[in-house]
Amino acid sequence: MNMREWLAWATEQAVTWIDLIVLVVVVGATIGAVVGVVRVVVTRASTATRREVWLRYARWLIAGLTFQLAGDILETAISTDWESITRLGVVALIRTFLNYFLERDTAERGGLEEGA
């Protein structure tokens, strides 16, 4: 196995592990958010508590999106055809926009809490 083949194999392994991390983060965060929402509904919690459930979920989603983007960047590094590179670029762009809006919403909601 030459160096290029080894790097491609190592990159594929890293992308697989990053995808696994993203899966665990997003599924774990979603389960936590569902549990939090059920708690909020059952206990008729305050608006601040509802907001905290959303903020916690948004923070974990931002982390998941960041990891996923890292995996996409690595995957792009070993792609050999323009169709794959274009598809990954579009996906990265969508994730970047989602990440931006989630972070902005999180910052706005956090600012509301600090001002209250």
- The confidence score (pLDDT) of residue 111 equals 65
Alpha carbon separation from 31 to 34, 75, 107 (Å, rounded): 5, 28, 23
* Mean of pLDDT values over 8-16: 93
Do residues 75 and 88 make contact, with C-beta atoms less than 8 angstroms apart? yes
DSSP tag of 81? S
Please tell me which residue, 84 or 17, carries the higher pLDDT value. Answer: 17
| Model pLDDT, residue 115 | 56
C-alpha to C-alpha distances, 1 to 5, 74, 91, 104, nearest whole angstrom: 6, 20, 31, 46
Structure tokens at 56: 């916690």
| pLDDT top residue among 83 and 24 | 24
Q: pTM for the full model? A: 0.76
